[in-house]
A and B are shown apart, each in its own frame.
Chain A
Amino acid sequence: MTDPLLQVRGLTKRYGDRLACADVSFDLVPGEVLAIVGESGSGKSTLLSMIATELVPDSGTVSYRMRDGALRDLGTLSEAARRALMRTDWGFVRQDATKGLRMAVSAGGNVGERLMGMGERHYGRIRAEAIDWLGRVEIDAGRVDDPPSQFSGGMRQRLQIARNLVTGPRLVLMDEPTSGLDVSVQARLLDLIRRLSAELGLAVIIVTHDLAVARLLSHRIAVMRAGRVIETGLTDRVLDDPEQAYTQLLVSSVLAA
């Protein structure tokens, strides 16, 4: 069996009396897409924040296989090492594009910034690479100097994807990347994510409340309720033959997932 790229063990977080995330453990192998589904307040975003090391867990660990092959507990990395990892080997596509992009900086600058973070200094190469990535996410090269504040919601999400993928990450976290978009715009974005993640062999953790999104994109699914993973397995098996009462309720509550 392939060595895991990411190893999550016993992640737990309380807010006062409320258990936001309770003892969550899983492995993710390279190229694997895991969907975390559940309703608002189920703890899925808390879990993702802890994995992204943006929120410190009360207990539990997140370990990642570094480029040198060693599995390292991210909690033991220095702040600088952790930030460098997030900027290069990881991506994070956020629901709210204004939190994932610099809204006043040009589209090209948004993509180029991550390249500069990796040490690239040659302006012409950065610009060429940025334009190439804008094309791959179906943004016209003519918009390279426009800031994302002038972009539609769908374009902003595509720009976030370009910004995150330009450094060749091995793991991308996505938090509700398609919610709030028109259905046709959603379809285009989903197709793009599906295609790029397969082409680049990305490991992805996608948090979504939309079971159709989970079905289209993920290999495995974890259903969360009240901070706990209550059911997990092969995506189509969990959606077509759910075992838990709550999963049956979720699946039967949508028109066609």
Chain B
Amino acid sequence: MTALLTFQDVAKSFTLHLRDGVVLPVVGDVSFTVEPGECVVLGGPSGAGKSSLLKMAYGNYRCDKGAILVRDGDALIDVVRADPRVVLGLRARVIAYVSQFLRVIPRVSALDVVEAAGREGGLDQTVARARGKDLLARLNLPERLWGLPPATFSGGEQQRVNIARGLIADRPLLLLDEPTASLDAQNRAVVAELVREKLNGGAGVLGIFHDSEMRDAVAIRVVDVTHFAPRARAA
């Protein structure tokens, strides 16, 4: 069985051209895998590069070196070098990404946002609508909010829309960046349960969870990102 996600000797830095080309190393020598049914949690202090690793796996950040292989059926696709259209295809079918913040689309209601994510992920409209409602209900988002655009929602309410959007389709690889940061204990438990259901269904998860409760509920393996500290280079 091939891993769902493989980091192979990945390195990443930012070159700030507007700051005299100063180079900020982020991570180096990153190698690990995420297997089906496995939840790998990225550990380490803030600034260690955890979110950057998720963004690289999603194709959102470039890499300086190495490969990030995502399994797409029988194929292995290197997100680092893949054509933009191939990366978009992976995002539609394979990779779900839940960020800390919902990027709001003006004028679109919460339920429509979630339903659209389901349709983009290959569900037909009826299934997407039904699942969307089910997810929002499980995440305790009051039904009176479903028809409203999330722009005016509280942080926690927006985050639950964001989670529903990320989890609605049957994508086999989940990238979760602090999905529970702005949630109360009850809703954190719901998210833990949703993530466990995905794992039981064979999905793989790469996540960042700061609250230990959430981590203990789902983590199978913790990868300490400080091990990937980039080697010091001469300034």
- Interface residue B130 (Cβ < 8 Å from any Cβ of A): no
Please, how many angstroms separate the alpha-carbon atoms of A191 and B106 in the complex?
7
**CA distance in complex: A9, B16 (Å):** 32
Closest B residue to A244 by CB, please name it: B17
The complex places the Cα of A170 from the Cα of B84 at a distance, in Å, of 21
Which one of B55, B87, B88, B108 contacts A240 once the chains associate, using CB atoms below 8 Å? B55
**Residues of A close to B2: CB separation below 8 A:** none
A234 contacts partner chain B, Cβ-Cβ < 8 Å: yes
> Cβ of A219 and Cβ of B60 under 8 Å apart?
no
Instruction: Give chain A's interface residue range (CB within 8 Å of chain B).
Output: 20 to 34
A243 to B17, CA, bound (A): 9
Q: Does A150 contact B (CB under 8 A)?
A: no
**Chain B residues within an 8 Å CB radius of A233:** 84
Q: Is B61 an interface residue (CB 8 A)?
A: yes
For the complex, give the distance between the alpha carbons of A32 and B62 in Å: 22
The answer to whether A187 touches B107, judged by C-beta atoms less than 8 angstroms apart, is yes
Number of A-B contacts (CB under 8 A): 51
**Who on chain B is nearest to A245 by CB?**
B17
Please state if A236 and B85 are interface contacts (CB–CB under 8 Å).
no
CB neighbours (8 Å) of B108 from chain A are 191
Q: In the complex, are the beta carbons of A249 and B18 less than 8 A apart? A: yes
A248–B14 CA distance with the chains assembled, in angstroms: 11
Which residues of chain B have C-beta atoms less than 8 A from A220's C-beta?
84-85
Q: How far is the CB of B22 from chain A (nearest CB, A)?
A: 12
Distance to closest chain B CB from A20 (angstroms)? 25
User: Is A216 on the interface with B (CB-CB < 8 A)?
Assistant: yes
Which one, A32, A188, A191, A241, contacts B85 given CB within 8 A?
A: A32
The answer to whether B17 and A191 have CB atoms under 8 Å apart is no
A241-B60 in contact (CB<8A): yes
Q: Which of A86-144 contact B (CB under 8 A)?
A: none
Name the residue on B nearest A232 (C-beta): B84
**A188 contacts B62, CB within 8 Å?**
no
Per the 8 Å Cβ criterion, residues 33-72 of B in contact with A are 55, 59-62
Q: Is B105's CB within 8 Å of the partner chain A?
A: yes
Instruction: Flag A194-227 by CB within 8 Å of B: 1 or 0 each.
Output: 1000000000000000000000100110000000
Interface residues of B (CB under 8 A from A): 14, 16-18, 55, 59-62, 83-85, 87-88, 105-108
CB within 8 Å of B: which residues of A?
A: 1-2, 29, 32, 187-188, 190-191, 194, 216, 219-220, 233-234, 236-237, 240-241, 243-245, 248-249, 252
Apart from the given pairs A234-B87, A241-B55, 7 other A-B contacts in the complex at a CB distance below 8 Å: A2-B85, A194-B105, A219-B84, A236-B60, A237-B60, A237-B61, A249-B18
